[in-house]
Structure 1
């Protein structure tokens, strides 16, 4: 006998779909968790939608800082929409099955949006660096065309790498089980289900993660270090307070 979702092929079994265990071990809290996650999702949608609407409609906010803030709010809506609706569906229906294609799609979007978040935070720190440390050059360095290019690079830059990484992970043969010990499709629990040695795949995942985390982090650290240094050198307390 093979577990549900596994089909026998020779001496091994291959996964036809996955089962997201999530909060299956907390049956008495299903209703409470459903209510909590529903409220969280609504707050995220409404709050970030208001930010986007205000930055678009208010002429006083037609500046790079608020342009990137609107992008970040859009990202947050997309980010939570990758995982929370699926969690709510599982809580409401108790049907935890997800197809291999659906799992791969969720993982790919999760990875792309996580990377976009890192890039956008780095771009926003660079925007503040230019505004405070290079105020005379700010209109030239952060014009509307440059802002659009930086935003597009943040959104589109991760696409090829994360699509390739997702394809690499799902090219593995899964035969150990079809039960993902998580509430959405993520790399570590998926790799645990793969047959054979996955060390090479794990190394590639860590390398990509370090690159996509380290570069934005260093940019953020350098930008705010320079910003703080510049602010502390301002001659008046009023000027320092305004800059902060």
Structure 2
């Protein structure tokens, strides 16, 4: 079975209108562009991929704001549910023979909800070897963290996520994990773990210099030890983030 990976950023209730979400979306798209040719351009989600290719994403904030406003969450009667914010997706147009997706939920301020920005990069095809590198995963998560200022985020293998989701249901660490300063301070961690700041916003924890896999016992043992230290530091419990 192929071990698949994704990069996600998550944050609690934060009331932001379509204009504020548009500025953050423009930022994340611009920050992802130099990470890899996969992200040179994006297309708006549509009923079919063929139709999506006729709807390129324009980076003017006013255009993005209009697009996001049309994706305000609604109930079964099509009535607005403003406290749930906006939800939409983007596709990279199969650039270089690879598909990539951005799934975004932002502006929600329901206290039990979660906002997110999830990047699904290719798990097959010609770009796979670039994607499955520490440098790619670090750069992608750094871009998401910088743009959205989440509470936490992770570049993680779905197999490893399944292994730990019961023990750590609120915040699950991955190959690379981001912690906002709002959650607390990252403690000293054992080698070969590396720690990098993200501006003044938070910290990246990078478990291994090579590809992290859930089938490697040494990788899993290292991750378990790091999780123990992070849990002891109070970083793996979800903390309320009051709406603005």
Bin for the TM-score computed over the shorter chain: under 0.3
Max Rg structure:
1
Which structure features the higher share of helix residues?
1
After TM superposition, the score normalised by the length of structure 2 is 0.27
Larger strand proportion, structure 1 or 2? Answer: 2
Higher relative contact order (CA 8 A, sep 6+): 1
Task: Give the alignment's TM-score, normalised by structure 1.
Answer: 0.27
